[in-house]
Structure 1
Amino acid sequence: MPRTLADMATEVLTTADGRAKTALSRRHAAAWTASRAAGTPLIVGEATPPLRPSRPEKPDLLPPRDVPRRKPGSEAGRLAMLHAVAHIELNAVDLHWDMVARFSRIPFPPGFFDDWVRAADEESKHFTLLCDCLEARGSHYGALPAHAGMWRAAEDTAGDILARLAVVPMVLEARGLDVTPGMIDLFRRAGDEDVVSALEIIYAEEVHHVAYGAKWFNFLCGRDDLDPTETFHALVRRYFPGGTKPPFNEEKRAEAGMPPDFYWPLSDAP
């Protein structure tokens, strides 16, 4: 049994099966939260997590250009979208535990670890909800090929906590705030109320994850006397050169602590 939070995080990262990974993630998150509530928090410790997390044999991971495109309005297209979102959520579980393990050596306040453990726990719940939706339709996670580039941002920012915070929660997860309302509408029109319910939970909780990124990014900038906006722009241009793309969900981004001057200057919009 892992004795430190960093060990727990590494154990999740080295578990391959999606259902097993997320069940373990939820158990470890509950143990950390209970220890904090009892006033006897587990030791954070230090760990050297793998550069890439363990993955199940399926789905086949393909270059983005090789992932089959399906019309979103069709039943097959909606199933493919559901599978793609499940893949994103499983990667997010690993991204948040990797945040804990890889940067455990940095002297953060305990709240840093509270936030990312909670985020990992919520992403685990999201993956499970989406797997349930897939299985209710006679499918399962792994039945379709998936995007191979999902972990690239983690590898590129493995040595830079500010870059990790900028690119993962503040760019990639913030993008989820932009696109999820459209997905909810699509599944609602199709009468897929179980998917709508799952996506509404995901949408509400992803705001927290973006907010954690903005909170700790600004914390580090303040500690190091850096201008947050300029630093964010420089890191995104370096590690995510494709930039951010409108339309933006400005209301939810603002709720998460991201003002427009963070992301609009990085867009292709005039």
Structure 2
Amino acid sequence: MSELRQLALATLAIASPDAKCAALRAIAPDCALDTSALLQPATLLPGREARPQLVMPRDVPQRALSTLAGRAALIHALAHIELNAVNLALDIVWRFAGMPPAFYRDWLGVAREEADHFELLRAHLASLGHAYGDFPAHNGLWEMAAKTSDSLLARLALVPRMLEARGLDVSPAIRAKLIGAGDVRGAEILDVILRDEIGHVAIGNRWFKHLCEAAGRDPLEAFASLARNYSANLPRGPFNLEARRAAGFSEAELIALQQAHRS
């Protein structure tokens, strides 16, 4: 098996984070690509180990960053988000047929960078005396992926353009807290992640607007409609407008975002 989308599906099914990241890096960016195939998973997706324990977001314990355990819990939460992001990128590659080849290669590149982020955070977590799986985590990102499994337009609108774009907003405050707690290495990793995530959200924006244009839909109208139809909770401010502009959000979209926040 050497076709890109089949390899993405097989990699998504792998439970071990180490094995998943290794299999992902073994996929050649220029390998054969069948954009039309309708693929079917052989196992429940995504593959994951028994740890970390998954809980509701409200049940994730809040810990003070002034303690070592608190900083470790935060780094663990970020690592979990990045591993989820690996799965999300792999999922969009195999699940949705009929897009231009550049679409699939874009998201394979995203998956690789998300794996880099996960490994940076996991190594830092180890330096704090903990391993991935030591703390409970929630599965909100993947739950939205499951909700939007029937629509690529909805997936692009509500995962990279909404949930992952939220990471652009919160990154500066988290970075400041890490610096305040003396965790310079954690702040350095966040700088890398923010830089790359601007590019990832930009990819989501580009392909969302590509589909809107093909369907003759206004991106603002389409996003608002999809958010309503999928019962998505719109993000609350403050917003990192500079990062969102760099990621391809238009001024009209940013104004609408801020108006929705104030209403």
Under a length normalisation based on structure 2, what TM-score does the superposition of the two structures give? 0.93
Unaligned runs of 5+ in 1: 36-40
Distance 1:75 1:59 in 2: 19
CA shift, 1:263, in A, is 5.2
AA in 2 matched with 1:42: A
What is the deviation of 1:251?
A: 0.9
Structure-2 residue corresponding to 1:38: none
| 2:129 is the alignment partner of 1:130 | no
The amino acid of 1:259's aligned partner reads: S
CA distance in 2, matches of 1:240, 1:196: 34
Residue number in structure 2 paired with 1:76: 69
Q: Residue by residue, what CA displacement relative to the aligned partner does 1:221-241 show, whole Å, maximum 9, x if unpaired?
A: 111111111001111222243
Contact 1:96 1:120 in 2 (8 A): yes
Could you tell me which residue of structure 2 aligns to residue 113 of structure 1?
A: 104
Q: Deviations over 1:42-96 (max 9, x none)?
A: 1235322466301111000011121111123432221111110000000000000
Cα distance in structure 2, aligned partners of 1:160 and 1:173: 18
What is aligned with 1:91? 84
The number of residue pairs the alignment matches comes to 258
RMSD: 1.6
Structure 2 gaps of 5+ residues are none
Q: Kindly, what percent of the aligned residue pairs are identical?
A: 42
Partners of 2:26 and 2:179 lie apart in 1 by 32
Query: Which AA in structure 2 matches 1:117?
Result: L
Tell me what 1:215 maps to: 206
Q: Secondary structure at the match of 2:261?
A: coil
Q: Give the corresponding residue for 2:226.
A: 235
Q: Which of 36, 43, 48 is matched with 2:40 structurally?
A: 48
Question: Which deviates more from structure 2 when the two are superposed, residues 206-215 or residues 41-50?
Answer: 41-50
Scaled by the length of structure 1, the TM-score of the pair is 0.90
Whether 1:4 aligns to 2:3 is: yes
SS of corresponding position for 1:115: helix
Question: In structure 2, how many angstroms separate the alpha carbons of the residues matched to 1:95 and 1:160?
Answer: 14
Which residue identity is paired with 1:94? Answer: N
1:249 counterpart letter in structure 2: N
* 1:23 pairs with 2:35: no
Which residue is 1:253 aligned to?
244
What secondary structure, in the 3-state scheme, does the structure 1 residue paired with 2:94 have?
helix
Q: Letter of the aligned partner of 2:86 in structure 1?
A: V
Q: 1:20 to 1:240 in 2, by over 3 A?
A: farther
